Amino acid sequence: MRVPKERALTILALAFAFAGACVFLLRVHIGLSLLEFGDEAEKYVAAQLIVAGKKLYLDIFAHHGPVPYMLSHWYAVLYSDSDFTYARVIVIALALMAAFSIFVSPAFRSWSARGWATGSFLLIISSIWVLSSIQMLLYQQITAFLALVAVFQLLLPTMMGRVPTRVGSCAAGAAVTLACFASYAVGPAVVCLVLGAFVPLIKNHAVLKRVLLPFLLGVLISLAVVLIWMFSYGDLTGYFAYHFYFNQVIYSKFIDVSLGDMKDLFAFELKPISYTQDLSVVWLLAAAALLSVVVMRSSTQLKAFKLLAVLLTIFFALLLNPRGKYGFHGTAFVLANCALFIAAIALLIDRAFVSWNLRRQAFWVAVLAISVIGMEAVSRISISSPHGILKRDLASNRVTLRPPPGGELGFVRSITEKNGDLLALVFNPSVYLLTDRRPASGHYYYLPWQAAYKRNPILGHNIDICADIANNSPAVIWFHDWKVWDQYAIADYEPCVPQLLSERYAPLQPDGHWYLRKDIHAQERWVPPTAATVLQPSQPLAPGNNIEVIFPDRHVSEGAALQRVGVLFGTYANTGRGKAELRLEGPGADAYHAEFDLAQLDDNQYRFFDVNGGHFDRGTIEAVSGGGVSSWENHSQAEAVLTCVALDYVDGTRRVTAGCPFH
């Protein structure tokens, strides 16, 4: 009777793991388009600069480790360096990798325990995926998921007296190495993890050798990958200057780091921002107790060493959040706590399964189920970090990580070169992503600690933002005079920036954030949108159904001479057939007629007509034969319908209909 029941329980656990994976994928995909955070966006901007030929830590300021930038760079090369909509898939892949390491962990003897552990892990993290900003490509998430590979492939197996596989040991070595290159701050936690994994093997030299050699091979493989990438796309001395020296000597003075801050992890503030972390701390304490019980009940030797491994495991988790912070700063800590708690419960399920104690199995499975439900319940009364939004309201906070058409962004694209013609200060890296423009300085944001480093640089690594503004003269600067942490104004920590802005730039609109270089500002004729822009296609062109070309009011009132007129056509992704004629008229005797082939129109692109200095303020497009195309029109709430036109004047300036795209 036992074998059929074993098979049934195993199938049930594996079905739970499969269901957990399905629910995870269904829930986390929405995170691809929810919430924007500058700390993540700056990774994508760095990737754009690397693709453009710049080097990390040499031409590009960055004080985080290289791994997040490596992942962003590979995405930009393999998929797109202008559309980062799917970059967060990388984090989903890392989470699934961690889940797979749980599923195949040698720490568990039964597939039943593996199934319950894997499904519970995926369900719990799906509950807090967006709430804790896990969906974002940040070093906290990266280090957590990498470290969990080593926990389940190396640490827990040796603690339980099992022999890790050679592949698992190699993966563990590679994972902890990459975690350290994601952020040097995770180094102490990794040391505890590795010591905890090898302490139980001190007196078993045969197993130690079997585990250590593939572990070191994994370390060397990851080290080689990082170094090859760094030699190709980064700078090692700059890595030391900006990652180690900068964080230890400069940045630490602004954030007041102390290991004593870890006591705050046990403060249990019981606030919406801290609920999920508070629960995870309870789980960590429970994991410590349960792992100790499992070790003490073990029939193997070296219990003292294994208890030491348990202690080191707890220190590993605590050191993932040495500043004792809530919110996204503690994401790695929360993920580790959840995984360790699940692991402890799964090990007890494993023992009950092997000894065939159905009652205990049911009890511990029920504990896991209650834990999953508990985290879901807690998540629903928590607020997200760093945005402070309730879980039920998250879905309404969609963002785009690709350049949208039209409006101010389209106008900025029309007057800037792709590389080195835009700067966004003080801190808004998303501007570069939304405009698809590369920054004019390696300091593509500028915060007080960067200015502090500028006054105390080392090894010749120093990017001068004011020199970059003065020498590169970007056409456009986006500027928000943000007082960082309500303490530091850029006028105080880098006064040359607002001085250059005042001397050389003029605001596009009063009280706006866009500033144009004064020579461009004097020329550009741009009509800012006065209401929400709605772009719609005109009625399709057909014989007897003409398309009216309606020019912007300011052009009509100015009456300036035109060199070219561009009309934005939509072909509905089909090749039009036949011919049409553009007829333009002006206030005087000026007239223009031009026949053109509909088959040569590109969908959602401007078709330009040379009008050679004529004065025109209205027009029509008439079907000569065929039809089926439309012009794009701006249907705003407060203005009449306007055709999307791009008007090139004889003096070299351009006007684009407000709200219409122009690339």
The confidence score (pLDDT) of residue 429 equals 96
- Strand 438-439: give its sheet, edge to edge: 438-439, 419-425, 476-479, 514-517, 505-507
What distance lies between CA 528 and its chain's CA centroid?
30
In the predicted structure, residue 663 carries a pLDDT above the cut 60: no
The helix/strand count (H/E) of the chain reads as 24, 16
Closest to 293 measured CA to CA, from 345, 337, 339, 338: 345
Retrieve residue 521's tokens.
């500002």
Average pLDDT of every residue of the chain? 91
Overall pTM surpassing 0.75 (yes/no)? yes
Residue with tokens 């003490």: 296
464-498: buried (b, 16+ CB within 10 Å) or exposed (e) per residue?
ebbebbeeeebbbbbbeeeebeeebbbeebbebbe
Residue range 283-311, pLDDT digits in tens = 999 999 999 999 988 756 678 899 999 99
The confidence score (pLDDT) of residue 575 equals 61
- Cα separation, 56 vs 53, whole angstroms: 10
- Cα separation, 456 vs 538, whole angstroms: 60
- Cα separation, 313 vs 191, whole angstroms: 10
Retrieve residue 46's tokens.
């760095």
What distance lies between CA 566 and its chain's CA centroid?
36
Residue range 188-247, pLDDT digits in tens = 999 999 999 999 998 888 999 999 999 999 999 999 999 999 999 999 999 999 999 999
State residue 482 phi and psi, 5-degree precision: -75, 130
CATH numbers and ranges of domains, the chain: 2-37+100-231+241-390 (no CATH), 407-523 (no CATH), 533-656 (2.60.120)
The single-letter DSSP state of residue 632 is: E
The confidence score (pLDDT) of residue 143 equals 97
The helix (H) or strand (E) run that includes residue 48 is helix 38-51
In the predicted structure, residue 88 carries a pLDDT above the cut 80: yes
Alpha helices, H only, 203-274: 205-233, 236-239, 252-255
CA 40 to each of CA 60, 77, 138, 593: distance values in angstroms, whole numbers, following the listed order: 15, 18, 6, 51
- Strand 591-597: give its sheet, edge to edge: 547-550, 618-627, 577-585, 591-597
Coil, helix or strand at residue 564: strand
Contact 646, 654 (CB under 8 A): yes
Retrieve residue 612's tokens.
């050679």
Residue range 517-574, pLDDT digits in tens = 998 887 766 655 555 567 889 989 988 899 999 998 878 888 889 999 999 998 876 6
CB atoms near residue 286 (< 10 Å): 17
Coil, helix or strand at residue 274: coil
Return the amino acid letter for 197. Answer: A
- Cα separation, 130 vs 88, whole angstroms: 11
Retrieve residue 193's tokens.
């993890």
Retrieve residue 644's tokens.
């999307």
- Cα separation, 44 vs 86, whole angstroms: 12
Share of the chain above pLDDT 70, in %: 96
